[in-house]
Homo-oligomer: A and B are copies of this chain.
Amino acid sequence: MARKKVNLAWIANDSTRRATFKKRKKGLMKKVSELATLCNVKACMIIYGPQEQQPEVWPSAQEAARLLERFKNMPEMEKCRKMMDQEGFLRQRAAKLQEQLRRQERDNRELEVSLLMHQAVAGRSLYDVNIEDATSLAWMVDAKLKSVQDRINQQTTQLALRSAAEASATAQVTAKNPMEMAMDSLQRQNWLLDAMHPSENVIFGGGGGEEIMPIPCVEHNSSWLDLYFPFN
């Protein structure tokens, strides 16, 4: 979290990874300790280092065993409800990203519509927007969507890494969803065309139309957001 935004992936460099491990483990211990103090909760944590035989245990081996025992003795039915395990945690985060994406889309739509309105006020018809305007609009949209895209990619990477580690088929299916859904979402964004030319000539994702000139694509990490613009 300093000097550079952390890339949420396995750190290849040995000494860097060890240093990070030490620092973050310390930070975690502190945070668990604080949570326990502030909220008077019973908590425990066990961390097995990369090559180490002894795990770090907080607050003590006895307490950890006690808590786990208490958990294991619960009826199975109860266990599954409301439990925040890894999958649920990631699923929740993915859902939240979806929601953020939705809001971002709405904001973008509003922003772009008002921009177009402004251009109209400047003396031209909405139907007169030229190729330069459309290109700049495309870049503007891209800048906004890119930030969302990055977050989704990051999330997807994390999910993929985790599922690889766990070798769980279920997790893998889950892992792909956020990206797929996000891309679907992005590709459904033909609202820009709607705003520009609400009647016809709007073609996206194939389908036969009339004379159409594609605006140069805006590249994303692993996909494309294609914006087509019909002009005379």
* Residues in A lying within 8 Å of B, measured CB to CB: 6, 8-11, 17, 20-21, 24-25, 27-29, 31-50, 53-61, 63-65, 67-68, 70-72, 74, 78-79, 81-87, 89, 158, 161-162, 165
Contacts and interface: CB of A to CB of B under 8 A. Distances in A.
Nearest to A55: B71
A49 B41 contact: yes
A102 to B, nearest CB: 21
Given A84-B56, A85-B59, A9 B33 contact: no
A86 B8 CA distance: 29
B67 A46 contact: yes
Q: What 4 pairs between A and B have smallest CB-CB spacing?
A: A59-B86, A42-B48, A60-B85, A43-B47
Contacts of A67: 46, 48, 55
B38 A20 contact: yes
A190 to B, nearest CB: 35
A54 B81 contact: yes
Contacts of A61: 71-72, 79, 83, 85
A37 B79 contact: no
Contacts of A83: 54-57, 61
B35 A60 contact: no
Given A44-B45, A61-B71, A71-B57, A17 B38 contact: yes
A41 B37 contact: no
Contacts of A65: 68, 72
B59 A38 contact: no
Nearest to A157: B37
Given A20-B39, A43-B48, A53-B74, 18 more contacts: A8-B34, A8-B37, A10-B38, A21-B38, A21-B39, A21-B41, A24-B31, A24-B35, A29-B84, A29-B89, A32-B45, A39-B50, A40-B50, A40-B165, A41-B49, A54-B81, A57-B71, A60-B86
A59 to B, nearest CB: 3
A35 B17 CA distance: 10
A144 B33 CA distance: 28
26 contacts: A6-B34, A8-B38, A17-B39, A21-B38, A24-B38, A28-B32, A29-B89, A31-B31, A33-B158, A35-B47, A37-B161, A37-B162, A40-B165, A41-B47, A43-B45, A43-B46, A44-B45, A45-B45, A53-B74, A54-B83, A55-B71, A56-B83, A58-B85, A59-B89, A61-B72, A68-B68
